Amino acid sequence: MHDLLAHGVGLLECARRLGWALNTVKRYARARNVQELLRPPRYGTCLVDPHRDVVRCRLTEQIPVTRVLAEIRERGYTGSANLLVRYINQGRADPERVSPSPRRLVSWIMTRPADLPEHTRRHLADLTANCPEMTTLSTRVREFAAILTQRRGQDLAAWISTTRADALPASTPTSTGRRKTGTPPSPA
């Protein structure tokens, strides 16, 4: 596809020639290499999830899977051995958790904590605990959501002042001194 683009063929014509959807062609055109096209798999909740920490711990101790299965069954696991093996083979029980994509991390921050699966809440807590700016950002996003959903407009000015005082990266006004609304900056 990049060869077609290099020869001056447009995106729509590339889609027609290759028999691909236009959005797929656009995504491939934006990618500089194959790694940019790879997306981490999105797994739903699983019967093994409540036992993930035990599975991880036993795997790092190099305990055989059959013994791990017996132990988590004693703790209430009702799934099959095949499900546990597939879970492990997918890397979902790896002790070193893969960092989520920026898009997924934003979706976790934007979701009410009660609506996130327990393992996702723990992963998000681990990620934000390692970065003070992320902890502050996550807190401010949740506060803003509460102001909006609870219709507490009177609290918005205080929230804005607090957020500005946090001086989070990329949250300061642009170097031109104007805000995006086009209003002039307040006198300092």
| Distance in angstroms (rounded) separating the CA atoms of residues 105 and 101 | 6
DSSP state of 50: G
**Which pTM does this prediction carry?**
0.44
Q: Do residues 60 and 28 make contact, with C-beta atoms less than 8 angstroms apart?
A: no
What local confidence, expressed as pLDDT, does residue 75 receive?
92
Which one is predicted more confidently, 38 or 106?
A: 106
Cβ–Cβ under 8 Å, residues 168 and 162: no
AA letter at 24: T
pLDDT exceeds 80 at position 107: yes
Q: 63-102, pLDDT tens digit by residue?
A: 888 999 999 999 999 999 999 988 887 777 775 556 677 7
Place of tokens 């681990």: 126
Is there a contact between 58 and 67 (Cβ–Cβ < 8 Å)?
A: yes
pLDDT attached to residue 170: 67
